[in-house]
A and B are shown apart, each in its own frame.
Chain A
Amino acid sequence: MTPGLRASAAALLARDLRLVWRRRGDALQPALFALLVVVLFALAAGGEREALARHAAAVLWLAVLLAGLLALDSLFRGDAEDGSLEQWLLAPVPLPWLVAVRVFGHWLTTSLPLLLAVPLLGELLFLPRAQLPVLMLSLLLGTPLLGLLGAVVAALTVGMRRAGILVALLALPLYVPVLVFGAGSVAAAAQGLDAGGALLLLGAGLAAALVLAPLAAAAALRIAHN
């Protein structure tokens, strides 16, 4: 009997979450990394209140993006090493579906804790309160988009032992538009302009990536495993 889409998704998600739960400390890594970026930026900028507040939203976006880039490696690596990925390829369930579920699980365990930490990090950088809702909304739309684009990159480099800087080089051009519109929406709100346009573009990008990125990532996984 072949498992249905929903059953396979539930099984995969439960497995991913259980694995993360067994190593709870790892789940905090992205948030810790973002905290480091924020602290280092504050120290490098001299801790002046106005200067920090002016750049707070951009730095937070950057910290989230870099933390996501760092977490990309764990997206398929474990499964490629222990052979689960071959089972994915052989499974009677469509591969893009499994990829989409995995990206969702990955977002739940790496980006969501980070998003919860953002208001706190914002306080550290004296982020103006009025900007917080727009920042959170843009991150809520932006982080899944980053995860989906990153999945394509992670799938392309899954066969390599030392992907390192290549992952960053491949992800950068795909991440730039997201960063521009994400940080742009907050910047627009800070100037009293309408942030809606940038947010709608982010949402449109997310909708397109939800459909296309799993397909591309699945194709890349097939290439990597012939």
Chain B
Amino acid sequence: MNPVLRWFHQLGSPPYFDRFAARWAPWCYGLGALAMAWGVYGALFQVPADYQQGDSFRILYIHVPCAWMSMAVFALMAVYAAIALVWRIKLCEILAMACAPAGAAFTVATLATGSIWGKPMWGTWWDWDPRLTTELILLFLYLGVIGLYHAIDDRRQAARAAGLLAVVGIVLLPVIHYSVTWWNSLHQGQTISLFGESKMDPSMLPPLWWMVLGTHVWFVGSLLARARADNLRREAGKDWAAQAAGAAS
């Protein structure tokens, strides 16, 4: 068998995943923290102040990566949930549900930093504009997935029901992403692009990419740690779980 494919199949086994997550989660947390620390340093000390917005634009170095993550994590959750629904892979159920709290946290961070930035710039904490509203809806979707997962007693059934909600909710994701383009919005349009030329000054970009990298790696660490905890809880009755927890066999 192809070694990559074999590794992939092995990863689906709960004991193997437990060891894998235990090994890699601290690395992800560490590297993510380093990248974010370097990004924050660059954002606060190296980047010049904006000619229009002064120093308050610097919050975008947290706002933008969090906003990207809030949507990317939802998409990832829906992909895991779809895989879990179709092929009934237990680990994918766990991973999908582990995405939800992290994604909700990114969404809250996006809304909070956005409104802190909005107060000096727009003169208001909140505005019922499409971008803000859709981001709020995204938060409710995350809360719905988390709430549904914890409302059903049977863990596998709960994960499948909440996963179905995530798959249904994915319909709204393009609306959130394109809301700035489709409707007149107080929120500014897209200024940063991965491919092609960004409308931001190049000197302002490197810390942003460090923050983006940092949040991604940190998220992977959080995903592994959460999934590992849920995995252990589900497998609590098994021998390997007791041994991994240090119990005498």
Contact = CB atoms under 8 A, between A and B. Distances in A.
Interface of A: 152, 156-157, 159-160, 163, 166, 169-170, 172-174, 176-177, 180, 216, 219-220, 223-224, 226
A219 B164 CA distance: 8
Contacts of A159: 152, 157
B151 A160 contact: yes
Given A223-B164, A224-B157, A224-B161, A177 B148 contact: no
Contact of A172 (B85, B140, B157, B161): B140
Given A156-B161, A173-B137, A177-B175, A219 B85 contact: yes
Contacts of B133: 176, 180
A166 B85 contact: no
Interface in B135-172: 137-138, 140-141, 143-144, 147-148, 151-152, 157, 160-161, 164-165, 167-169, 172
9 contacts: A156-B164, A157-B148, A159-B152, A170-B144, A172-B140, A172-B144, A177-B172, A180-B133, A224-B161
A176 B165 CA distance: 16
A25 to B, nearest CB: 31
Interface of B: 85, 133, 137-138, 140-141, 143-144, 147-148, 151-152, 157, 160-161, 164-165, 167-169, 172, 175
A220 B147 CA distance: 16
A224 B159 CA distance: 11
Contacts of A160: 151-152
A221 to B, nearest CB: 10
Contacts, number: 56
A127 B49 CA distance: 52
B126 to A, nearest CB: 16
* Chain A contact residues, majority secondary structure: helix
Contacts of B147: 166, 169-170
> Which 6 A-B residue pairs are closest in the complex by CB-CB distance?
A170-B144, A173-B140, A173-B137, A173-B141, A223-B160, A223-B161
Nearest to B145: A170
A219 to B, nearest CB: 6
B144 A169 contact: yes
